[in-house]
Structure 1
């Protein structure tokens, strides 16, 4: 019960305090990929803690520690066996039901986001197959349209898209730089990262952590794509392309080079900050690992302790008998 209480308290603290701490991290723009991992790990950590809190409250440590036989007995009790053992109570059933509902809600929300996005992208891909033309030199689909837009359409038939207005507004160097940005989105599978953040936010509307994570992840994937593109093309060319495309609005289910943060990203391109030192990265990676494994390790402590105690007791009996 103590472990369950700790996990429940951590869930509340993570959902309310953690987003404020992470939002103040000045290093995020210097290492966007690490920052993305941090936000997602923190969100999953809070959700996992809520699930494990219910399971820890429902299933005593010795149930796990003494083997699967006891666990099967608990499952049997859950189905209606009136054995009179404390775990077969209304509280036990409620705790397990709560954990199950949280898990199902998260899975449903994420799958719904993925399904909806895939459906819309399929429709858009069908439209591009009719109205667009593939340009092998650009490695993109050219769409006849009066607004300068550059975006990518993730999925099985992933492709970058550029409008004729963008080709007129941008120089060849700028076009190459901004298309590299879009290909970075595709290679990094950023649509799946965004779907995870969006799914968690929809599963728990009003929760500060997942709401902030959704906003930050959307911003950080653009910074990450900028960095990848800047590794192959001039920062000045990419910055100039972002300025030209700043007012464009791409379809919501695609990933575009422009956006509400375009001008901020331009300043970042023109005044790049120093990357994180190796020690700073190791600290960040350790924090991500702690977020992902900490709740599970804490929840496993009672079971492992019971298992060790059981085997030690058996060994002592065996030694004494001998």
Structure 2
């Protein structure tokens, strides 16, 4: 029975500490040096929080039916199949069960809605580009005939990098190549899909501070990841100058990932100061923390099976 007790105690930890972890993670300086590890920790925290809420709720709801979670869940299934319904569960247990079960389709529905909205906006952008922009073979990008400098990408199945005539006039060759590398890094990494769960989480729980912090922090991390790929290919100075020039005349473009659109000043400072991790042990430690966060909710399902 010891593994079961450990699992039951560990499962709510992501729920109890999720808000505090989000606050600390959102303000941590090390994330700029290790954006990939920071993104993985945000993903682990979000998944652990969701699994923890559902798992802990199910365990509490079916607890009167048996001593261990799988057995109590099997008992509930037998009751439902034999027409006994929710016999053995009080009104409070039934309420917890309904809320826990309903949470899964609620999260799925918000994820699907967010994906459909993003896909619709991407289709709209592509239709506009087909009408308004010319494809540049030289840059393998779509060029808008406007003087305002813009640079962004439209992700999806027919992904496109978009520039304007103003961007081509403003940036020199090296800066332009850095911009193109940055946008293509977004497309190759499907950063729009990495962001999607956090958009859905913020839609599902707009009152939850942790969800809001994740929604704000993750896009910046994705920009840092794209910056890193671009600077390795074309140099930090070229990319920093491009961000500064484009940020000075930026207007937001909805539904796309724009080069100068997120934490431009912080990113320029990072590029100019050099991206040198202070310790090679930070990333492994962060991945271990992510695994620890997930271990509680996962253990709630596995540990009872190990009980004698």
- Is the shorter-chain TM-score for this pair beyond 0.5, marking a shared fold? yes
1:285 maps to 2:287: yes
TM-aligned CA deviation for residue 272 of structure 1: 1.4
- The whole-number CA distance in structure 2 between the counterparts of 1:130 and 1:83 is 59
* Deviation of the 1:167 alpha carbon: 0.6
Of residues 262, 270, 275, the one that matches 1:273 is: 275
5 Å-filtered alignment, 1:102-251, equals: 102-246=103-247, 247-251=249-253
1:259-283 Cα deviation digits (max 9, x unpaired): 2511221111111131254322211
Give, in angstroms, the shift of residue 10 of structure 1.
Answer: 4.3
The structure-2 alpha-carbon separation of the partners of 1:260 and 1:283, relative to structure 1 and needing over 3 Å to count, comes to closer
Which of 14, 17, 20 aligns to 1:17? It is: 20
Per the TM alignment, residue 9 of structure 1 is displaced from its structure 2 partner at its CA by 5.9
Unaligned runs of 5+ in 1: 310-322
- How far residue 90 of structure 1 moved from its aligned partner, in angstroms, is 3.1
Asked whether the equivalents of residues 146 and 166 of structure 2 are also in contact (C-alpha less than 8 Å), the reply is yes
Equivalent residues of 1:4, 1:299 under 8 A apart: no
Q: Which 10-residue stretch deviates more, 1-10 or 96-105?
A: 1-10
> What is the SS of the residue equivalent to 1:100?
helix
Q: Distance in 2 between matches of 1:44 and 1:4?
A: 17
Q: Distance in 2 between matches of 1:100 and 1:254?
A: 34
In the alignment, what sits opposite 1:262? 264
Greater shift in the superposed pair: 18-27 or 200-209: 18-27
State the distance in 2 between where 1:30 and 1:80 align: 57
Deviation at 1:299, TM superposition (A): 4.4
| Aligned equivalent of 1:40 | 43
Q: Is the 8 A contact 1:239 1:266 kept in 2?
A: yes
Aligned to 1:312: none
User: For residue 313 of structure 1, what is the aligned residue in structure 2?
Assistant: none
Q: SS of the counterpart of 2:135?
A: strand
Instruction: Tell me if the contact between 1:31 and 1:276 (Cα under 8 Å) persists in the aligned partners.
Output: no
Residue 146 of structure 1, CA deviation? 2.4
User: For residue 296 of structure 1, what is the aligned residue in structure 2?
Assistant: 298
Report the CA distance shift for 1:123/1:65 in structure 2 as closer, same or farther (over 3 A): closer
Superposition deviation, residue 229 in structure 1: 0.3
**1:171 to partner: Cα distance:** 0.8
Q: Which moved more, 1:286-295 or 1:124-133?
A: 286-295
Shift of 1:105: 1.4
* 1:24 positional shift: 3.9
- SS across alignment from 1:155: coil
In structure 2, list runs of 5 or more residues that go unmatched.
Answer: none
In the alignment, which residue of structure 2 is the partner of 1:28?
Answer: 31
In 2, Cα distance between the equivalents of 1:32 and 1:84? 47
Superposed displacement of residue 215, structure 1: 0.6
Cα 1:106/1:234, change in 2 over 3 Å: same
> Matches of 2:192 and 2:122 in 1, distance apart?
11
**SS of alignment partner, residue 81 of structure 1:** coil
Cα RMSD (Å) of the superposition?
2.4
Note if contact 1:249-1:258 (Cα within 8 Å) is conserved in structure 2: no
1:253 aligns with: 255
Task: Measure, in 1, the Cα distance between the counterparts of 2:134 and 2:194.
Answer: 29
1:139-168 CA-partner distances (Å, limit 9, x unpaired):
111111221000000000011100111111
Which stretch of structure 1 is more off in the superposition, 105-114 or 17-26? 17-26
Distance (whole Å) between structure 1 residues aligned to residue 144 and residue 77 of structure 2 = 58
Q: CA deviation at 1:58?
A: 2.6
| Alpha-carbon shift at residue 196 of structure 1 (Å) | 1.2
Superimposed CA distance per residue, residues 75-98 of structure 1 (whole angstroms, 9 cap, x where no aligned partner)? 242467348963x44344322211
Q: 1:317: which partner in 2?
A: none
